[in-house]
Chains A and B, each alone.
Chain A
Amino acid sequence: MSNNTLKAPVRLPADGASGARTNSRDTFKRILPKSYLVLVLISIIIIGYYVSEDFLTVRNAENVIAAASIVAVLAVGQFFVIVTGGIDLSVGSILAMSTVIVALTLQAGLGAGISVAVTLACCGFAGLINGLLVVWLRIPPFIATLAMMSAIKGFSYIIQSTSLIQIFNDTFIDLFSRGTSLGLRNPVMIFLVVAIVAALVAKFTTFGRSLYAIGGNPEAARLSGLPVHRNLLITYTLSGLLAGLAGLIAASQLRQGSSLIGMGYELDAIAAVVVGGASLMGGKGDPISAVIGVFVLATIINIMNLVGISSEPQLVIKGAVIIVAVFLSSAGGVQRISGFFSKQFGRRTAAVAK
């Protein structure tokens, strides 16, 4: 292209002093909603430290993290689905199916490695079916995965045939709950690896970028030649696969497989993703925030357990926490509150000036 396209150089806001001031305030405003989640988590931890002696101990921390690792793995898968503008309600059921299949295959005498492979393959396949329903049959994700949630739950119950199947395979139990690697318990290691890989994929790969594009504007993504269908299939498969992985952790922690495990986990995962600042409309958020969201919720539950609040009030408080957190992160609550305070503050200084 020739030079005559060159127009006047890009004009930036001039006026040094005031420009710099607005910039720093803007940077603050931009970072605040992101870091607020960490602040929330830290304040919860501080509260926990004051209300319970047992809270800030290595043992308790290990328990919280081990319990949260299951939902954290689910939440990462859920995040990818949500960022495309979809939702996956079937992950709790897939998790249950995972525990049943791994228990069955171990019971049948297969080695831990093969059992795990078979289980993950089945769960990935279930996720693929979700994807096919959404992409090929064009069933809205909510409905497709709601139907799959029911179907998979029933399927797990049928194949399990007794109320639960116990797991005795030590290799498997070591691999997913008892064992350690690099000084960390394996489930913690697994969720850390999953979360970090997911964060890298979301931020630095063409796949991750295309998911944000699909969620942000599916038609623009299609017209730009992105493989929308293929990537949606991969995303739902991935969600199924991660639900299977979470199921493996659950199965080895509980040492059993049962279709009743993981009830309501899909909602916990969705809540965590949303608390982590993702929009259910798609195109926003990041996996690390989703994982932090898991820990915000898990820590609060843990503190309430330590203090001895019974489980029903816990549910009420958990609901309230979700609403407050989502208000602060996605509904622009931080800006609204800071706007309110700056206005009050501004008025007061104005009054003083008079």
Chain B
Amino acid sequence: MSADDIRRGSDIEELRIEGLTKGYLGVQALKGVSFSVKRGSIHALAGQNGAGKSTLVKILSGAEIPDGGSIFLGGELMRFREPTDAQKAGIHTIYQELSLVPSLSVAENIFLGQLPTRGGTVVHWGEMQIQARAALARVGFDLDVRLPVSSFSVAEQQAIELAKALHKDARVLLLDEPTSTLPLPDVDRLFTVLRRLADQGVTLLYISHRMDELYSLCDAVTVLRDGITAADLKTADTKPADVVTAMVGKSLEGSIADAALRGERSPRLGAGRSEKVLMSAHELGEEGRVSNVSFDLFEGEVLGIAGLIGSGQSELAGLLAGARKRTAGVIKLDARGVVFKSPRDAIRRGIGLLPQDRKSQGFIPDMGVAGNITLASMSMFSRLGVINGKAERRAARDMVERLGMKVASVGQPMKTLSGGTQQKGILARWLVRSARLLICDEPTRGVDVGAKEDMYELIRDFAREGGTVIIASSEITEAMMCDRVLVMARGRVVAEFDHDDIDPQGQAILERFA
């Protein structure tokens, strides 16, 4: 972070939001959000899941129509009825899931919907490629624009998406957690690009859960809490803890997330292990993903498996939970060899998996909260195949209360909940079943600080009550909370650390990443 970055932005107001409100099915998502953004600045939007960030993004991108309030762009009142209205006005949104067509070429993607033509009918390929390269050059990338988008990395695809927005004369770019799927070196590169765009006068609205990012990249932060503007901060004269405090509505001093933010020695999640080996792996492998992994997992322990994204920690978690098929090695549970033909076999033996991708692996979108919570334990709530609805809802309500899930009722469809609440619902699925081994694959991905803290507390409680936990993670702070960390690189375990041997910055672990 340098002083130059902070002084970015002109004094002209580019975007002003006034008293925006929006309600859904009995939940008031926005209760009056107001803030203003300077032209050419990078403005962060922070808030817990459920605070109203995504609703705000949807309204700004024209995907939702607000109930009340107004949006001014360059001093002009805007009324967006659909996404194309917002785009025509110059507000472009880049979502976590990129919206490129993988099989089309880079140039076609950039020009999608408005291919340059000769005489109005035939596509002018040459012209298109020249312009596409120019658009990419603006974001500092030089790619072969004739190749299909699918042949490029996530970082490059993001650049293509940026180029596409710029080509359509974007004035304001909304970036919804753009770094959540990026490896570290690419994050730096993205930031360089974003700063360059800001210098060119593009206004950026940046959403992220990562405080360090907000403070190294953004000029100002607007914090949302429960649908209102909780704070408007300048990054130059505040610190990350201020944002977190505004997000949560109380001081986080002494909490796990706070310690992680301050870079202090992480507290332990584990409650102290027993000498009994619960599970062990011997030369476990999956062709091309994981090779030759051996370890013992002790009862009551919180074991971290850390590595950069794609290092095999997620695959290893899948193998241990029966979600993937091993091609080599042995897994022993309670000193007996086991073969998991499916997750079902692992679940029967008391293993629960918190999968990495909530949306595609975690929950049934249209099913209610109760149905999702009891999904893995329907037999406990049924007799001869008939579900006891009362008992089921009671158990679900208990879980909702115990885990502090924000829901209107246990019948509310899971897809309408915030990411953190959904994650708690999936955790509840295994708590209801009384699983003894919890395998968490990136348990706090896409989850805000408050819910993150809750997840850590829940994992800690689970361990304290005798449960055993494996956390596969690409986040260094998460790995540092574990009793023991296995570091993975290219599908192999390359190092093992005890919690007490890890330095406060986690350099020891980072050095073995690669």
Contact = CB atoms under 8 A, between A and B. Distances in A.
B347 interface: yes
B472 to A, nearest CB: 15
B215 interface: no
Interface stretch (A103-111, A220-228, A309-317): A220-228
Contacts of A284: 366
A283 B366 contact: yes
Contacts of B378: 206, 209-210
Interface residues of A, number: 39
Q: What class of interface size applies to chain B in its complex with A?
A: 35 or more
Interface in A252-280: none
B348 interface: yes
A11 B365 contact: no
Contact of A8 (B348, B361, B367, B404): B404
B342 A222 contact: yes
B383 to A, nearest CB: 10
B26 A219 contact: no
B332 interface: no
A79 B393 CA distance: 26
Nearest to A208: B387
A209 B371 contact: yes
Contacts of B342: 222, 225
Nearest to B375: A224
A220 B362 CA distance: 5
A1 B458 contact: yes
A157 interface: no
Query: Considering residues B342, B344, B364, B400, which has the most beta carbons from chain A within 10 angstroms of its beta carbon?
Result: B364
B62 to A, nearest CB: 16
A2 interface: yes
A212 B25 contact: no
B347 A225 contact: yes
Contacts of B26: 13, 19, 22-23, 26
Contact of A4 (B353, B366, B376, B457): B457
Interface in B373-394: 375-376, 378-379, 382, 385-387, 389
Given A2-B464, A204-B387, A12 B376 contact: no
A328 interface: no
B353 A223 contact: yes
Interface string B342-365: 111011100001010000111111
Contact of A11 (B344, B366, B403, B406): B406
B362 A5 contact: no
A55 B361 CA distance: 51
A170 B284 CA distance: 67
Given A205-B382, A224-B376, A2 B364 contact: no
Query: Considering residues A9, A204, A209, A224, which has the most beta carbons from chain B within 10 angstroms of its beta carbon?
Result: A224
15 contacts: A5-B403, A5-B461, A10-B405, A15-B28, A30-B25, A206-B379, A206-B387, A212-B367, A217-B361, A217-B362, A217-B363, A221-B375, A222-B323, A223-B362, A226-B344
Interface of B: 23, 25-28, 226, 321, 323, 342-344, 346-348, 353, 355, 360-367, 371, 375-376, 378-379, 382, 385-387, 389, 400-408, 429, 431, 454, 457-458, 461-462, 464-465
10 closest A-B pairs by CB: A7-B404, A216-B364, A225-B347, A225-B344, A224-B376, A206-B378, A224-B375, A1-B461, A219-B361, A205-B385
